[in-house]
A and B are shown apart, each in its own frame.
Chain A
Amino acid sequence: MSGEEKVVALILERYPFLEGKITIQRRQRIIMPPLNRDYFEDVFQFVVNEAGFRRFHLVIGVDDGEDLGFIYALSNEDKIVLLLKQKAPKELPYIKSVCSVFPNALWHERELVDLFGAHVEDLPPGPTYPLPDGWPAGNYPLRKEWKVEYFDRETMTYNPPAEASAAAGTDKAKEADK
């Protein structure tokens, strides 16, 4: 049994519902299916503390249409990289910070806030990253509906035509915060 197969077996032993959903893409690459927050936090703790994936490389934000995806790249001592995925509805994209486990996740999570509009709970305070001061609120440039051609660099305003504005929707998480 290869190192990758052992890792998958260990995860499946604990989480049988993931049977058939974990992919060994190639040597040193394991890809997990997107998990809801409820499952993610438990699986995350397991792969870090019990499966030995104690090195954090980065978290990658992706726009999956209705959902936002968050892909955590972790590796173990055998240099196997595990892509652990979490998803959250785009309208209410709440995730929990992993900075208490991996301090080096800080800027990556700030980037999720700026570029994807994620709401990262327990994110340590500090400057935003990487968008500049004066960036218009509610504009998340790496969401697919955000089009660079509607952004006016001079005035730092986003001016989509009416139909595009409706498609982009509003930030319901902010409304929920209120």
Chain B
Amino acid sequence: MSGDSKRITIPIGPQHPALKEPGCFTITLEGEKVVNAVVGVGYNHRGLEKACEARTYIQDLYIIERVCGICSHTHSTAFCQGVEELAGVEISPRAKFIRVIMAELERLHSHLLWLGVAAHEIGFDTLFMYSWRDRELVLDMLAMLGGNRVNYGINTLGGVRRDITPEMKQLIHKTLNAVEEQNKYYIDLALHETTLAARLSGIGKLSHEDALKYGAVGPVARASLVDDDIRVAEPYAAYDQIPVKVVTDGHCDVFGRAVVRVLEIMESIAMIRFALDNMPDGDLAVKFPRKIPAGEVFSRTEAPRGEDTHYIRSNGTDKPDRVRVRAASEANWHGMQHMLEGDYLADVPIIIAAIDPCYSCTDRAFVLKDLDRGRERVWDWQSLKRYSIDWYKERGFDASKIKLAERRI
């Protein structure tokens, strides 16, 4: 209990209530209302920037891709294009289009993931399950293109590592049709479902002026009528050749952030379709020097959560002198205290979740040890899936007989 007997201060976290990510929120309440909030982060600091200084640029790419599980491609794109600028290397037009397609698929899966998390936080678990089911379709596409559900490893210095074949293109189009159809339902929910609007409206307020003052980025800023989007402000990769419509909303609250994200899903789908149909032929990657001339670069990309910035300083060797990464979440935390104050304790989880803070994803390929036979082997996704289906079948539950809706690929 604080000095004022009417006030009580409670710590929430480090395992905080919205996402399974370490962060500590010290909330001071007067009754049920939040009168003060102190955000504490840093529990997950891994020293990546120091690690980058001791490794070569190509080794750093693997570190940078793991800054965030969800926005991994956006980070590696920011890093690659920064190093490419330092080296004076222009990548092929086809590689630029592939980077955009991956980036927009990443945005799709990130926004669908957020929609599920947000729905879960407000007790709308049906929507949570729907959106995560649909997200699986997108993850399947990402896995098909990159070989992983997260950390796709598509980018390399000088271009991309994998191509998109006509068969893959066809499958992506088919998947997009399914995701689009389902997203129309989410848009309808977001715009017309009264319980959803009642639960999300008026909480986590961030006015247009405050969004600018606290440096909000991405959907958080755009839901406060700040029309900033690096894809338009400073087009990178192939965004200068693809129509990009910036979605904004004037609700300035959690509801607005939900509206922006579901509408952005439609825009991403349109961008991927355009990119697939207009992708030029060409090489995937160009020859890239090992040593990078001395210089500095400030590289920006638009992650699903907003602007990612990478500052890279080179010194003429094969290792960078300095790498500074600022992810979008780092920018959006600054306004969190302001967003929480004045709202009810019960709204704290959804307000935190509404900025879509980052958390790590687990890798899907791992080593399993057969204890009976004492063997180890790496299981790929398909074998894990088969194992799972067989495991349940042996126990009387045959998942393969479940008929999902026709829209399922």
Separation of A131 and B50 alpha carbons in the complex (Å): 13
| A62 near B313: Cβ-Cβ < 8 Å | yes
CB distance from B323 to the nearest CB of A (A): 10
Separation of A22 and B273 alpha carbons in the complex (Å): 42
Least CB separation from A129: chain B residue: B42
Count of interface residues, chain A, beta-carbon cutoff 8 Å? 35
CB distance from B149 to the nearest CB of A (A): 28
Separation of A54 and B228 alpha carbons in the complex (Å): 14
Q: Does A156 contact B (CB under 8 A)?
A: no
Separation of A73 and B333 alpha carbons in the complex (Å): 18
Q: Could you say which residues of chain A place their CB within 8 Å of the CB of B215? A: 55-57, 102, 104
Chain A 58-93 per-residue mask, 1 if CB under 8 angstroms from chain B, else 0: 101111000000010100000101010000000000
Separation of A131 and B214 alpha carbons in the complex (Å): 23
| B47 near A141: Cβ-Cβ < 8 Å | yes
**Chain B interface main SS type:** mixed
Least CB separation from B54: chain A residue: A148
Q: Could you say which residues of chain A place their CB within 8 Å of the CB of B330? A: 58, 107
Separation of A63 and B214 alpha carbons in the complex (Å): 27
Q: Which of A32-72 contact B (CB under 8 A)?
A: 54-58, 60-63, 71
| B326 near A57: Cβ-Cβ < 8 Å | yes
Contact of B298 among A54, A63, A81, A103 (CB under 8 A): A81
Separation of A61 and B53 alpha carbons in the complex (Å): 14
Count A-B contacts at CB 8 Å: 75
Interface size class, chain B: 20 to 34
Separation of A62 and B296 alpha carbons in the complex (Å): 11
Say yes or no: A130-B333 contact (C-beta < 8 A), given A60-B324, A73-B309, A148-B50: no
Q: Could you say which residues of chain A place their CB within 8 Å of the CB of B208? A: none
Chain B 280-313 per-residue mask, 1 if CB under 8 angstroms from chain A, else 0: 0000000000000000111010000001010101
CB distance from B312 to the nearest CB of A (A): 10
Contact of A83 among B298, B307, B326, B335 (CB under 8 A): B298
Report A's interface with B, CB cutoff 8 A.
Answer: 25-26, 28-29, 31, 54-58, 60-63, 71, 73, 79, 81, 83, 102-104, 106-108, 126-132, 141-142, 148
Given contacts A58-B330, A128-B42, A129-B41, 18 further A-B pairs with CB under 8 A are A25-B297, A26-B85, A28-B234, A55-B212, A56-B215, A57-B215, A57-B307, A60-B322, A62-B321, A81-B300, A102-B215, A103-B214, A104-B213, A107-B41, A108-B326, A132-B42, A142-B49, A148-B47
- 21 CB < 8 A contacts A-B: A25-B297, A28-B234, A31-B296, A57-B215, A62-B322, A73-B298, A73-B311, A81-B298, A81-B300, A103-B334, A104-B214, A107-B330, A127-B38, A129-B42, A130-B45, A131-B45, A132-B43, A142-B49, A142-B50, A148-B47, A148-B50
